Amino acid sequence: MPEARPAGVGAALAAVHRRATALAREYEGGRAAVSNLELFFDLVFAFAITQLSHALLVDLTFTGALRTAVLFFAVWWAWIYTTWVTNWIDPERGANRIAIGVVMGLSLAMGCAIPTAYGAGGKAFVGAYLAVQIGRSFYSSYAMGEWRQFGRGGGSHNLLRISLWFVASAPLWLAGLATPDADARTAWWIAALAVEYAGPMARFPVPGLGRSTASDWIIAGNHMAERCALFIIIALGEGLLITGATFAGAQGTRGLTAAFLNAFLGSFAMWWIYFDLGARRGAEHIESHDNPGLVARQAFTYGHIPIVAGIIVLAVLDELALEHPLEPSAPAYVAVLGGGMALFVWGNMAFKKVTSGRPWYPLSHAVGLWLAALIAVWGLVDQPPRLALAAASTAALTTIALWEWGSFHGGWIERMEARGWRLGTVLRQRSDRLRARREAKTAARG
């Protein structure tokens, strides 16, 4: 991760601190360290991820997937907004620690209510979610000195605007609770999330307070990159825990050990795809960017959603394969495989395109998407054993990981060409032609 960063970002962070209270972070060289309290806080969301996986597992239908997706979007929104806030306030201050602890307890209650959120647990889920979002946002507005500046002209009211947007979405959450019909509740909650997710894109306009500006979103980029990378680790870790627990409690059936090994290899391939190049390059990009807040919104706040969702869905795939390795692949199982692969690979494609500074997507990931589509078609047509289909998905993920490794680290094309292999020359020439065409298109657009 580069030490240098734009001087303007460091100055802007210093200005944020000067106008805030003593509860704000002091940025050292424009950087903010991830605290032990934040790591402890993440454990609650590790539990929430497990709950989401189980919710999808027990209702493998379109309706079940939609309802789980609604809950996932709420869980992610609660976590990512807390990550933004802890970029600005100091977790080592006593008052902030108490506030984060309260948010942590409410988030745990929200996670506990996930399995029954569309029934008796709806009040607990919505009540905890709104308390987290509204309470944390108002508190952080106070901690950053916005209340002190209110009505005096100048200063920032960014967190106050965010608080009011969560207040505006609250009636939609409550309207969903007021109806006993689960489908109507889903519709109301989708509307509430649509309002909340539109907020950052619209820059939180509020009558009398205006809109947020770029200076309101100045952050320590290293903190955001590290926090999101740690969340990916948590999601992958929960998948491994589910795999281990399922394997330990399963009966000794044929194919069980192979399914266990395949699940592990699939998780390792996903780790490789994200962390070998994506996480490092994402951290470097946000650290060196003139507007790290914009990168954090595009590449991390929104861009990590499909990556995390894909990991959760593929954890369900592994659990199903472990339960009945040799059972024919039903359409629901194929949908889980295709949906999980598409989300994870496409999410990494988009993330790496944004953070690479290039106008094209990585070819290895594009090929991986085609492989996922072919595997899904195979599953629907032939209905092979679950283990065979899961193994094919792991092979596709491994292909992406090794392709990217060879392209950026191994120099395998150059070595093939140096040994006089015709294939190496052909691949290099095709790569050069493809790069030239992409650069020409970029120049034409620019």
Q: Which residues pair with 28 in a beta bridge?
A: 31
Residue 183 has pLDDT above 50, yes or no: yes
* Segment 293-350, tens digit of pLDDT: 888 898 999 999 999 999 999 999 999 999 999 999 999 999 999 999 999 999 999 9
Higher per-residue pLDDT: 43 or 9: 43
- Residue 379: pLDDT band (50, 70, 90) is very high
**Residue 210: per-residue pLDDT:** 86
* Segment 81-98, tens digit of pLDDT: 999 999 999 999 999 999
**Residue 4: per-residue pLDDT:** 44
Residue 101 has pLDDT above 90, yes or no: yes
**Residue 306: per-residue pLDDT:** 97
Is residue 443 classed exposed, middle or buried when 0-12, 13-18 and 19+ CB atoms within 10 A define those classes? exposed
> Would you give the distance in Å from CA 251 to the centre of its chain?
34
Opening angle at CA 191, ends 299 and 317, nearest 5 = 60
**In the predicted model, what is the mean pLDDT of residues 63-82?**
97
The amino acid at 121: G
Q: Which residues pair with 328 in a beta bridge?
A: 385
- Host H or E run for residue 331: helix 331-356
* Segment 195-220, tens digit of pLDDT: 999 999 998 999 888 888 877 788 88
- Residue 246: pLDDT band (50, 70, 90) is confident
